[in-house]
Structure formats: C-alpha cells, structure tokens
Structure 1
C-alpha cells in the first residue's frame, strides 16, 4: 500500500488529507500546529514530528502550505523533504507557488531519483470538502499518470499541463481570471443594491446567463449573507497576484486588470481583512444601509 505523507492541514489541506484517509491510504501528517490535525489523527492518520521524519516514511509526499518561502524551506532546507526522501518517492506540491521554484525543485529532485510534480488546485474550501478540486499539473507525464489514482480522490478536473512549472503557470492564469472577475461580482451586487433591486433575485438571472461564473454562483451569495469566512484567504490571494504580476513582467506583458485587483485587495488587507475570504472585497462597496 502506498504510504502518503501530507504537510499542511489548513482550510483546504485538511479536507484533502481526510479524503485520502477515507479512501484507505495510510497517511502521515505534519503541520506547524498539531491541533489543526486532531480530526485527522482521530481518523487514523499518523503524526510525524518533522517534515524530515514524514519524508522518510512516505512513498508519496503532498504539500499544501501558504507561501513560496514555506515551500522552499520544506523542500530545500537542510532538514527538508529532498534530503530525507528516498529515491523513487513522488513529491507533489499543491501550494500555489512560483513557477521558477517548481522548476528548481524538479531539477534537484531528479538528481536524487525523486519524481516532482507541481499541482496547484482551484475550488476553495467547498471544492476541497466535496473532493471536486480542479488540479493543474506540471512535471514528467509518466509521474503525473502514476499519481492519477491519488489525484482522482481529491479532484474532478485533473489536467496535465506540461513540463515542470506548467501547473503553476496555469494556476496564474486561473488567478488572473478570478481577480478581475471578483471586481465585477462585487460591483454587480453593489449596483443591484443601489438600483433598489433584490440582489438574491438578480443572482437568479445573471448567474445562469453569460455573466455566470464560479465566483458569482458561490461567493456572491456569501457576500449577501455577510459571510466573509475564508474559503481562500485575502492574504494568500494577494500572494498569488504578486507572483502573477512578477511573472507577467518577466514576459514583458501588461496586466491592467490584475494590477487593479491587486491594488483593491491591498487596500482591503490594509483595512484589516487579510484573514478574511476573498469575497470580502465586496466590503469596499458595501454601504452601511445594507447591514
């Protein structure tokens, strides 16, 4: 039986690891805060004290952490995954991170006989909970195909995008599309209020038409309920947008829509909303009369 090591049990990672456990895989867990993994440990996951210890006991290692700096420390540190994992191990980073870092990890892993895949996901807390994440993968195709049985447990739309770094580049496309879209969703709800319409009724019409989107169907209802709990944190979205802007600059490409979204989310974060869900962008338009 393939032993899976899972690092990072936050909003999405916890659900992903739980699906693997319930599918019958032996799962080891490491996360900075052990309390966040208690429900997984009760289901039979094995706690490991360090990432290094986890790597030594795993055939497949999956990581879902916050920032590229976390990924770099986990994989490339003196006591990191690549120093502890045995030859033939598959390492799958599902964090949204830098394409250049994914390529660097892939190259170092290959030297050690380790298969590396960058496989960021989209779908938020709901997609993770319902095991229908979109998974975009980069790396060797043979390694991707070997990991498909695992991917199929946590996701529905699973697409191989190309060589190392391709998964991360695809996730940047995803985040660019979402960024400008979230401005549109927020403005549409604010306009409905200003026009004296019933916003929930408006959603029935526009979410099923040409304006339809995942954000409109899933996050606009949360806006209307004043539910700004994170399915995906503002602080992490800002991180993703910063990576995409940096990558676009390296390609001499202008991204005015993304730049505006980054500016607005920075303003939102400075108002104390960094730990809120991305739907909190609506607060920049929300009037006191809506409370």
Structure 2
C-alpha cells in the first residue's frame, strides 16, 4: 500500500467549475500536479502555475502516484477509466484512482473490480459543497472503497474538504451522494416556492431570509442559493444539466431497489422543464424561474 510519504505526483482530470479550484489546492500544497481536461483553456491558469499538461488521460496516469477525476457524466467516467487508453489500463501498479464525479454506484463497483485486478486502488469519492466549498476547500467528501485505501488517501482528500467520511465498500460513496442529491432536490423546490410566496405577499425576500434561514427551515441551499436568486444571479455553482444527471441516476437506482421517491420525481420533472427553457447551463437555483413563471 502506498504511504503518505510517496504521494508526490498527482494527476487531476477535469478542471471545470469545481475541479479547477480543487486542483489548485493540491498545487499549493506542494504536490507536482499533472492535468488533463477536454478543454485545455480551462486548465491554463494551473499550467501557468507549473502544472504539467497531458493530451490524454493515459499518459497522465503513467506519470502519477494518484489520479483524481472530476468530470461530467457517468459515460465520461467509464471512458476515462475503462477505455482502451484509460486510467485502469495505463496507471502504474500501486497507484490510486479517485473518482470525485457524481456517478453511478454500479459503475464505481466495476471500476474498483477492474482496478484491483491490475493492482490499483480505486475509490469513489463524490463531493458536496458546490463552487464555494471547492474554492474554500470545505467540501463534504463521501468515500466508497477499501478502508485501507481510504486511510492512505485521506491526507490527499484533506486538502480538498473538511467532512470526509468512509461510507463502505466500492459504490457506497456514490449511494451516499445520491442521498445528498435527493435531499437537495426537494429542498430546492421549497426554497424557490418560499421566495415566490414572499414576493407575492408583498414582502422583501431579503428580510424574510433573515428570519427563516437560522430557524427550522434553515439549509445550505437557503443560506447560499437564496441570496443568489434574490440578486438575480443564476450563474452555475452547480449546473442544472449535471443535477438532472444526478437525479436520473438516483431514480434509476431507486427503481432497481423497488423504491418510489415521489419528491425526487417531482423535482426531476421541474428541472427537465427548466432545461427545456434553455437553462441547462444555469445554476440549480434557476429553478426559481419555473416556480415564478406559474404566478397568476
């Protein structure tokens, strides 16, 4: 098992809204950083600060002790890890592969099995906290995989988050993230409906927020996203299109468990409507536009 002292060269794949901040924390912590992203321009600041660019995931994997991925969709994860030129085939034995994308629990288990067959250590470690948590290294990280691998990777993960919990075997991190997304989905409906209700009643939403965010209605979304809604800021801390992907994964896995989730199904339908309005690249707080559009 690789020890903390041997963690020197880290690969990071996916330098988008959250990934760029996460990679920069590792760079500032003194690790030698190697990066790959489908759009090189998103990694330019990291490269200017000394990161080594790779044109493909495979060459990056060959050069690193550990590789972290933070990409968009399960199909991206599958290609990057299990493709012919993917991480599992190209990483050096003993290396760590840590997928922080919100992805499929079943895919996480497949990756872990393929990695173990090649002497690699795979962890599924999705995160919660959005762009703010990534920027401030305060992410909540939920991890699935072998306990020994988790303990070895913990010093690295501590550079990215503050609430880091080993949830169980491979796939457990992704199942836990689905629980997180299920809770957020219905909560976002409540946040948006509360603001629209306040406006319709002739109240000042900002003043209302002062009263309700610290009480029983309090939530991360209410404290962090409601002010953005009030300010007309619908820029993505987390994309609508990615949240729709997450809810689809949760609904699919719930069906596999013969479980009905009516609140999640409603949220999914509303976000699908939002995407149809041209808001797929907006932040999840743009759900307000769907709720507000129903005012008489």
Provide TM-score, normalisation by structure 2. 0.96
Equivalent residues in 2 for 1:125-274 (5 A)? 125-274=131-280
State the partner residue of 1:277: 283
Among 60, 79, 87, the alignment partner of 1:81 is 87
- Deviations along 1:243-266, one digit per CA (max 9) or x if unpaired, are 000000010111000000000000
Matched, 1:60 2:45: no
State the partner residue of 1:113: 119
The residue matched to 2:142 in structure 1 has which SS? strand
Q: Distance in 2 between matches of 1:168 and 1:139?
A: 11
Equivalenced residues, count: 289
Q: Distance in 2 between matches of 1:287 and 1:177?
A: 24
State the partner residue of 1:27: 33
Among 2, 14, 17, the alignment partner of 1:11 is 17
Task: State the Cα distance separating 1:2 from its structure 2 match.
Answer: 1.8
Q: Distance in 2 between matches of 1:66 and 1:196?
A: 40
Q: Gaps spanning 5+ residues in structure 2: where?
A: 1-6
Q: Gaps spanning 5+ residues in structure 1: where?
A: none
Q: Distance in 2 between matches of 1:222 and 1:258?
A: 23
Q: Distance in 2 between matches of 1:76 and 1:211?
A: 43
Provide TM-score, normalisation by structure 1. 0.98
The residue matched to 1:65 in structure 2 has which SS? coil
Matched, 1:100 2:118: no
Q: Distance in 1 between matches of 2:95 and 2:239?
A: 31
The residue matched to 1:160 in structure 2 has which SS? strand
Q: Distance in 1 between matches of 2:26 and 2:291?
A: 40
Q: Distance in 1 between matches of 2:77 and 2:291?
A: 35
Task: State the Cα distance separating 1:131 from its structure 2 match.
Answer: 0.4
